[in-house]
Structure 1
C-alpha cells in the first residue's frame, strides 16, 4: 500500500479543513499540548460565516482563536473538560464553560452521550507504516477520532513519539484530512520550584511511602513539588502510573528512583495518559519503550489501579471542610480547574493492597488584599465538592498528616483542626462546637 499517496490525497490547507465545519456543529480540539493551532485560526477566520458552533477542548494553554475572535459569543461557544490558567481567565470573562466529568468515564461520555461533527486533532508526523503517533495526548485522542464524523489531523513536528501502551496511534486510512504547517517546538511547561511549605508537606508525606511503591501525581504546584522532593529522598524502585506526566516524573527517573521494576502490572513501564512539561520530559518519552502511553479509560480505571500494590496517589486541593469534603476545582462558584482524575485515583488507591491516597495543601493562603485565610474551613458555601467525605484518604499540610478513613464527624473535626494553621484553630474549634461536631471531651 502506498501510504504516502493516500497522505497526499488527503492533504489540505488549514482553510480548506476549516470549511468542513458548518453552523450548529460540535467541534473537538483535543487535549493539552497537541492543540490544533492552525485549524483553530482558520476556523476563527470564518467567524462571520458561522453561528452556534460549539468547540470542546481541555487543558488549552492558549490563546484560542475562535474564542478571542468572538468575545460576544455570537458565533462560537467554548467548553473545557479541565481549565488551565488561561482557560480560567476566559471563564472569568464568561467565555469558557466547564464540563463536569469523572475522567475515567471520558470514553463512556462520547460513546453514549456526545457527538463530534469535526475533530481537529494534533499528532506527530506519519511514519512509514501510515501511522500518526498521538504522542502526549494519547490518553484522550482516539476517543475523539472514533466518535467524529470528520477527522482532521494537524501535524505537529515538535511532538515526541510515545510508545504504547494502547491507542497511541491513528492510521491514515482512519483520517479524512491532514493539515501541515509551521509550529515550532512543543509547548514547554516547567514546574515551579518547591517552596519551603511544599518541602515541609513532602517531608510529612514521604514516611508513608515505601520502596517499590507506584506513584500518581495530580496536576498542580504541590504534587509537582512532592515529586521533586521524592526524587531527593532515599526511596528506590518506584513505579509510575499517572494520568498526567510532568517534569517531576522525569526528575524521579533521572535521580534513579523511578525504575518500575516492582510494579505488579505493566512492569518496567512508566504508564501515563497525557503529559506536559519541558523538553527534558519530551525527550525522555520520545521513542522510549520504558514509557507507555495508554488511554485514560485504562490509566484512570480504579480496577486497574487496584492491581498495583502499594499505590500512592498524591493530589492537591483548594480547601477541605471540617466534615472532610474536598474542593479541588472551584473557589466558591468560580471554576478554577476541574475534577480530573482525583476521584478515580482516590478510589483506586484505597482498593490497592498497601495503597494510600493523599490530599495535600498549604494550610493557609493570602489573598490579593493581603488577608490570610485558612484552607480548612467550617463548611463549604458554594464551593464545588470534588471528593465526598465518605471517601477514605489522608489530608496532608505542612503541620502534619491525618487519616479520615472511618472517622466520625467529631474525629474528623479534631484531626483536621490539628493540621490547620495555628492562627485559625481557635475559630475552627468554635465553628465545630456550633456545628455540633466537637465532642465534650475535646473541651477539657
Structure 2
C-alpha cells in the first residue's frame, strides 16, 4: 500500500499541528478509559430499550434511543484484531474444512497456514503461495477475501504481522531490513517451489528479498512473484498521498507521528506510529462517506433492517481495527520508498549490501494494477519490469484491471472473476520446469 494506506496522514488532519510528544498516547488512553462509565450506562440503556417486555421497545422513541446507544458504543470502542472466520472452502466441488495453523513465528510476525483437510488426494499437488500482507495499519485479516479466492486451488500461507504495542521492548527493534530478513526466513522455512504474492506495500521488500536471494544464488528462491498495486516507483503518476512524503520530509514524520507506547501495554515505551493516529488519517480522507454511513446505520437500526446493519458492522469491525507500527520500520520505509525512491534509482541497500533487481533470473514476475487506483498510481507497480531486466520476456506479465480502485486489485467481484484466474495461470506457467531451467541457463 502506498503512503495513504501505509499509515499516511492527509494534510488536513495535522496541518499546522505541533510536534507530537510522548504524552499524546497517554492522553489518548486516559480519554478512552474516561469513557468507560458512559459506555456502561449506554450499554445498560440499550439493553433496556431492546427488552421485549419494555412497552417503549416497539415505539419510534424506544428504537431511536437503542440505535443512538449502539452508535455511541461503536464510535467510542477500541476495535480488537478481527477473526479470520475461514472454516472451510470448496476443493474440486467438495466442501473441505480449513484449519489455520501457525508454522513460523518471530516477535513481529506469525506465518499462518490455511491447512485444507482434503478428503481425497489431489491428482497434482496444489501450488503453494505465500501472501505477504501489508504491514500498514490494518491487520492481515483485511485480505480475508484474497485468501478465500485462492484456497480452492492453492495451498495458502500468509504473513500475520504483530501489533507493535503488543511486542515487549526487550524483543528488539524492527525496521525495513528486518522485514526483508523475515521474508527470506519464511521462504527458507517453507522450502523450494513457493510462489510469492505481495499485496500493495510489501512489493518493495519482496523485490528486495528476492534480489538478495538471487544474488546469493539461494536455492529457496520462489518460482514466481506477483506484485499487486505496489509503490515500486512513486515518481510515476504520483498521487496526492504519494506527494505528502516528498513535501514534508522524514524529519516532519519523525516529529509529528511518532510517540511511545504507554503502560499497561506489553510494548510500553516502544516508539511507534500509533493506530489511533493512523485511523484519524484513514477516516479523514473520506470523512463525508463515513459520516453518511453512520447516519445510515442509525436509520437502519430504527427501521430494523438487519441485513444492512450487519453489512455495516462487518465492514467497520474490520476497517476500524488498527495496529501500531514500529517507528523504525515506518520511518525507514517512508524515507526509502516515498522520499528517496531508492529502489528504482538503484540506491537501495539491505544490511549495507546493494539491492540489485537485475540479479533476478529464476523468478517469474507478474504485476497487477487497478485502472482507478488513487493510492498507487498506474505505472508504479509496472516499473518493476524495467528493474528486473534479466527476467526473460516470456516470464514477465503485466495486467491492468479496468474499472477498479486500490482495494479492487486484491478484493471484490472483479478480483475473483478476472484477476485471480490470470494469477493462477501465471503461477502454473511459472511452475513449468522447462521454463525455469531455460531462465536459469
User: If the TM-score is normalised by the length of the shorter chain, which range does it land in?
Assistant: under 0.3
TM-score by length of 1: 0.25
* Structure with greater contact order relative to length (CA < 8 Å, sep ≥ 6): 2
Larger strand fraction of residues: 1
Larger helix fraction of residues: 2
